[in-house]
Amino acid sequence: MTTSASPVVLGVESSCDETGFGIVSDGVLLGQGLASSAAQHAEFGGVVPEIAARAHLEAAVPTLRIALADAGVEARDITHVAATSGPGLATAVHVGLAAAKSVAWALDVPLYGVHHLAGHAAADTLEHGPLPERSIVLIVSGGHTSILAVGDLVRDPIEHLGDTLDDAAGEAFDKVSRLLGLGYPGGPAISRAAVDGDPQAFTFPRALLRPKDAPFTFSFSGLKTAVARTVEKLERAGEPVPVADIAASFEQAVVDVLVTKALRAVRERSLDTLVIVGGVAANARLRAVAQERCDAAGITLRIPPPRLCTDNGAMIAAVGDLLVRSDVEPSGLRIAADPSAVLHGAQLPLPQ
Ligand code: KG4
Ligand code: ZN
């Protein structure tokens, strides 16, 4: 039970195809509601922004009700609202942000505009408690792949050590899934197919791992092309395409690069904690390989449970709760959607 002094923060997420509402108090997840329009995008092979926006609109009130019931709180118990104001699909972010503004205005409570990727990092605190003083965070989602040096998530600037030059890790899963005919969303589909495959069957390229390459920069488009060429070659030769082996070998190539570079960052900064977050962090092979290599290196690995890796409202509420408890000034109703917001801090700046 929360005391009257504890904040009860409602988080709202709508940056892509998940409509999420979560309620967090003092670092504890009280409850959440989650709706997904993924099935409506499947026939198009990727998220259609207009369909996502309409789905958010339809799901908003019922999903908020589910979150309140799950948390066992009334709307009037909410003391603060936090919403993803970027980055994400413009149409989609707008709907959730408008919903969050309506709730904040109706309840007359403060509103925070938060960065979606800070939400992914904060999700881990709901499972494993506060982050250490400093850590390396590997964010692997459908739109981003970054290695960050993080201190206090809501007070300190976030330092980018490296990003992807082209496709994000999740995007590579989605594209390879499409070309293997496994459908959307690609990550879970590849994972399922890979279970029966041999990760050593094909040697796909691991980009930017040579000593002279940028140590923390990723590139996945060559890997995707290599998979496409392999499939084309087999088809031209009239041979069957071993989908499970290709899926497993592709997954292994992505995981190898992600874990190698993330561990390199931990060592270079003389830190002892690696946090892996974002939708791709739900991947079983990534979780297993990262655990094995962190154990061998004496590094503490933190990965949220799979349901908190993919987009949800709880992670946004977690950022809001941290902002409130750090006495950070709320954004207010003037906060605007910024679909291409770069991650400098957990809270997004107000428009000029
Ligand atoms: O973080 P997220 O839910 O949304 C964004 O912020 O983009 O990440 C979605 C991405 C998608 O590309 C999806 O294919 C990938 O995460 N994903 C996975 C798995 N589950 C979701 N990738 C690999 N393995 C999974 N099990
Ligand atoms: Zn996300």
Give the ligand 1 atom nearest the CA of 120.
1
Mutate which of 41, 116, 173 to test ligand 1's pocket (most atoms within 8 Å of Cβ)? 173
Mean pLDDT of 184-206: 97
Please report which helix (H) or strand (E) contains residue 9, including its range: strand 9-13
pLDDT in tens, 4-15: 589 999 999 999
Whole-number Å distance, alpha carbon 220 to ligand 1 midpoint, is: 15
Torsion of CA 237, 239, 245, 246, to 10 degrees: 40
C-alpha torsion sign, points 188, 193, 198, 202: negative
pLDDT in tens, 98-108: 999 999 999 99
Instruction: Give the confidence band of 250 by pLDDT, cuts at 50, 70, 90.
Output: very high
pLDDT surpasses 90 at 245: yes
The answer to pTM > 0.95 is: yes
Mean pLDDT rounded to a whole number for the chain? 97
Q: What is the pLDDT of residue 4?
A: 55
Place of tokens 């006495």: 327
Q: What is the identity of the amino acid at 177?
A: S
Mutate which of 280, 285, 287 to test ligand 1's pocket (most atoms within 8 Å of Cβ)? 280
- d(C-alpha 316, C-alpha 105), whole Å: 18
Helices (H) and strands (E) in the chain, counts: 11, 10
CB–CB of 323/98 below 8 Å? no
pLDDT in tens, 113-171: 999 999 999 999 999 999 999 999 999 999 999 999 999 999 999 999 999 999 999 99
Whole-number Å distance, alpha carbon 282 to ligand 1 midpoint, is: 7
Mean pLDDT of 59-71: 98
Whole-number Å distance, alpha carbon 279 to ligand 1 midpoint, is: 3
Written in H, E and C, the secondary structure of 225-293 is: HHHHHHHHHHHHCCCCCCHHHHHHHHHHHHHHHHHHHHHHHHHHCCCCEEEEECHHHHCHHHHHHHHHH
Q: Which residue CA neighbors atom 23 of ligand 1 most closely?
A: 187
